[in-house]
Amino acid sequence: PVGWKITLDRLREFRLQNPAPVDTMGCERLAETGDEIPPEVKRFQTLMSLVLSSQTKDTVTSVAVRRLQKELKGGLTIQGVLDVSAEELNNIIAAVGFHNKKTTYMKQVAEICKTKYSGDIPDTAEELIALPGVGPKMAYLTLQCAWNKNLGIGVDTHVHRISNRLGWVNTEKDGPEATREALQSWLPKEHWREINHILVGYGQVLCLPRGPLCGACPVQERCPSAMVTKQRKKMLAIIKSEMEEPFGEV
């Protein structure tokens, strides 16, 4: 798309100056840190955070992950998930969306990782996507955050919505996977990792699903959707003005 680099630079600068929930509560930041935490445990926690994040706000996901880290015997590890009862696990994550299904997914993923991957998680997109409850977005974000492998763009609802609003892609009706493929067809690979973080935060604080704050947007003059919104508001104002005008004398 013409001028995409300028738009991306402006959005990056905006994000540096405007914090969003994803900056502190995003899935890539929820794994425990420290030399005492084994790398495979950090990777598993990142994967579990992403599984829990589906259809759930970052603020809710982060609380659930912290509870798992504190309340599971031995912490949020493969063995910890296997040892806890399904009922207790479900109670701990009850605030996240579709928690009943996610309880089952977590149990299944833990068992697969223990038996098939020697207590670690897969390191390919194909194997990650094959895990219960793991989609392409989760797989590519897991590869980036847990394995430091930049093999694809993680496209969630924010990235899907904003990429279409900006006119970077034309995949609104085709879904996030179509958006990922379209973005990857032209966006240089060095931006694949940052694009999710930039657009998710931007979508959380400004380019909202409903009622986007176009007036405060740093790229409003470059956004086709903002232009349409302005034209629509102008037309509505004209119509309202005409309706409020008093009728002339007959």
Dump pLDDT digits (tens) for 35-88.
999 999 999 999 999 999 999 999 999 999 999 999 999 999 999 999 999 999
Mean pLDDT of 91-110: 98
What's residue 243's pLDDT? 54
Dump pLDDT digits (tens) for 157-206.
999 999 999 999 999 999 999 999 999 999 999 999 999 999 999 999 99
How many Å apart are CA 240 and CA 250, to the nearest integer? 23
* CATH fold for the domain made of 31-151: Endonuclease III; domain 1 (1.10.340)
Q: How confident is the model at residue 34 (pLDDT cuts 50, 70, 90)?
A: very high
Q: How confident is the model at residue 133 (pLDDT cuts 50, 70, 90)?
A: very high
How many Å apart are CA 138 and CA 154, to the nearest integer? 7
What's residue 211's pLDDT? 92
pLDDT at 8 over 70: yes
Q: Among the options 137, 189, 233, 234, which is catalytic?
A: 137
Q: Are 4 and 168 in contact (CB under 8 A)?
A: yes
- DSSP class of 190: G
What's residue 241's pLDDT? 53
**CATH 1.10.340.30 segments of the chain:** 31-151
pLDDT at 249 over 50: no
CB atoms within 10 A of CB 17: 7
Burial 197-232 (b: 16+ CB within 10 A, else e): bbbbbbbbbbbeeeebebeebbbbebbebbeebeee
Q: How far is CA 49 from CA 150, 164, 217, in A?
A: 19, 27, 30
How many Å apart are CA 210 and CA 161, to the nearest integer? 11
Is residue 107 among the annotated active site residues?
no
pLDDT at 233 over 60: no
Q: How far is CA 72 from CA 79, 142, 219, in A?
A: 10, 22, 45
Dihedral angle sign, alpha carbons of residues 48, 49, 52, 54: negative
What separation, in Å, do the N-terminal and C-terminal C-alpha atoms of the chain show?
Answer: 56
Write out the two tokens for 70.
């504190």
- Total number of residues shown for the chain: 250
Mean pLDDT of 213-237: 76
pLDDT at 125 over 80: yes
Name, in order, each residue with C-beta under 8 angstroms of 72's C-beta and a sequence gap of 6 or more: 80, 81, 83, 84, 92
Average pLDDT score, the chain = 92
